[in-house]
């Protein structure tokens, strides 16, 4: 498997280049955030990291995933029926989580502890003032991910993603969106964390059940990140993440390159499954033409022959029109 390429252009962590943050492929930024105080603390020791984080903490409870040792850190479904999950979730304080991680650090096969997708500003107010992500005017959601040796199944995110390893080590394996068929995605619902995940166990893939998986590996790229390293993952790229140290902390930012009123395309996929997938083949083929014309190949010529005041959703969409269309759709769905 190839390595994720390193970013070779200019880089200022206080004002990151737009060429990186709007890219159409992943890049690794080696040492780009090594100056962060949290990274400096983590390089001293896990205990120093814990003290640094607790300096910002004000007592908010957070969600903690716990997995039995036999799960080997793989956050996944409970069994082959895919009807439940192999983890329990509890509320905990940050000091309880850190104490648990430090206490398990010398255990050869520990239970997994995992805090995922937790808003940094809510849990650690002031942290981002000391550890700056120079995202410019982007309205980013910045989250923390804290745990021991965990394995997160390959999945995609709708927003663009910049992930900074603040402590520990993580291995990222990324795949372009067109590899979806070769990654054998699970159900749209239920999912462990909101997005469909690959059902392939990357540690021991079952090639009888998932025979196309080697094709995904041929197209994939991998990178191991140390404290201070970052990776940019574009929207909809699949990524599989492994925590390699007894204590791992990741800080990531998500943002979209579209206005807030542009809804998630996943909603359209759900509706398309309900309304089009089971149509007769000839009708599905017709709808392919419609979607190509109105969505995927649309440009100004698509609606140029229609008076501007009559274009509706066929013309440019703004916040007002989006709200009107959403309200009308809700009425239709309730029939």
In this structure, the answer to whether residues 31 and 180 fall within a common structural domain is yes
CA distance 97 to 126: 20
pTM of the model: 0.94
In this structure, the answer to whether residues 150 and 235 fall within a common structural domain is yes
**What range does the domain containing 107 cover?**
2-255
Is residue 260 situated within a structural domain? no
Confidence of residue 20 (pLDDT cuts 50, 70, 90): very high
DSSP letter assigned to residue 139: -
User: How many helices, marked H, and strands, marked E, lie in the chain?
Assistant: 12, 14
Is residue 226 situated within a structural domain? yes
Residue 142, pLDDT > 90, answer: yes
What average pLDDT does the structure give for the chain? 95
In this structure, the answer to whether residues 184 and 328 fall within a common structural domain is no
Residue range 179-234, pLDDT digits in tens: 999 999 999 999 998 889 999 999 999 999 999 999 999 999 999 999 999 999 99
Q: How large a percentage of the chain has pLDDT more than 70?
A: 100
Count structural domains, the chain.
Answer: 2
Among residues 255, 286, 304, the one where a domain terminates is 255
In this structure, the answer to whether residues 159 and 305 fall within a common structural domain is no
In this structure, the answer to whether residues 230 and 288 fall within a common structural domain is no
In this structure, the answer to whether residues 144 and 224 fall within a common structural domain is yes
Is residue 134 situated within a structural domain? yes
Shortest CA distance to 195 belongs to which of 116, 78, 91?
116
Rounded-to-10 torsion of CA 318, 319, 320, 322: 80
Q: From the centroid of its chain, how far is CA 232? A: 11
Confidence of residue 325 (pLDDT cuts 50, 70, 90): confident
In this structure, the answer to whether residues 160 and 242 fall within a common structural domain is yes
The CATH number that applies at residue 36 is 2.60.120.650
Is residue 156 situated within a structural domain? yes
In this structure, the answer to whether residues 78 and 218 fall within a common structural domain is yes
Among residues 255, 289, 316, the one where a domain terminates is 255
Long-range contacts of 326-332 (CB under 8 A, 24+ apart): 326/263
Distances (CA, A) of 211 to 82, 152, 184, 200: 20, 21, 10, 10
Residue range 298-318, pLDDT digits in tens: 999 999 999 999 999 898 889
Is residue 51 situated within a structural domain? yes
In this structure, the answer to whether residues 139 and 279 fall within a common structural domain is no
Among residues 209, 226, 255, the one where a domain terminates is 255
């Amino acid at each position: 498997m190839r390595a994720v390429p390193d970013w070779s252009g200019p880089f200022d962590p206080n004002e990151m280049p737009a060429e990186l943050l709007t890219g159409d492929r992943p890049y690794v930024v080696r040492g780009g955030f090594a100056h962060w105080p949290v990274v400096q603390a983590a390089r001293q020791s896990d205990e120093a990291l814990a003290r640094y984080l607790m300096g910002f903490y004000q007592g908010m409870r957070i969600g903690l995933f716990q997995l039995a040792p036999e799960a080997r850190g793989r956050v996944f479904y409970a069994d082959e029926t895919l009807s439940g999950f192999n983890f329990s979730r509890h509320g905990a304080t940050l000091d309880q989580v850190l104490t648990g991680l430090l206490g398990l650090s010398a255990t050869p096969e520990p239970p997994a502890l995992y805090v995922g997708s937790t808003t940094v500003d809510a849990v650690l107010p002031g942290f981002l003032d000391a550890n700056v992500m120079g995202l410019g005017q982007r309205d980013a959601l910045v989250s923390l991910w804290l745990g021991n040796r965990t394995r997160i199944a390959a999945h995609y995110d709708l927003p663009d993603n910049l992930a900074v390893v603040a402590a520990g080590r993580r291995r990222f394996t990324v795949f372009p969106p067109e590899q979806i068929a070769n990654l054998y995605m699970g159900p749209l619902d239920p999912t462990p964390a909101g997005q469909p995940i690959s059902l392939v166990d990357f540690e021991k893939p079952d090639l009888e059940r998932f025979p196309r998986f080697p094709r995904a590996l041929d197209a994939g790229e991998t990178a191991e990140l140390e404290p201070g390293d970052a990776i940019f993952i574009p929207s909809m790229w699949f990524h599989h993440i492994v925590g390699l140290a007894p204590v791992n902390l990741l800080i990531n930012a998500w943002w979209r390159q579209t206005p807030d009123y542009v809804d998630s395309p996943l909603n359209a996929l759900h509706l398309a499954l309900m309304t089009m997938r089971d149509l007769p083949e000839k009708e599905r083929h017709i709808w392919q033409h419609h979607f190509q014309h109105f969505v995927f190949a649309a440009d100004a010529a698509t609606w140029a022959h229609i008076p501007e005041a009559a274009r509706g959703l066929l013309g440019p969409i703004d916040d007002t029109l989006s709200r009107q269309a959403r309200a009308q759709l809700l009425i239709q769905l309730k029939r």
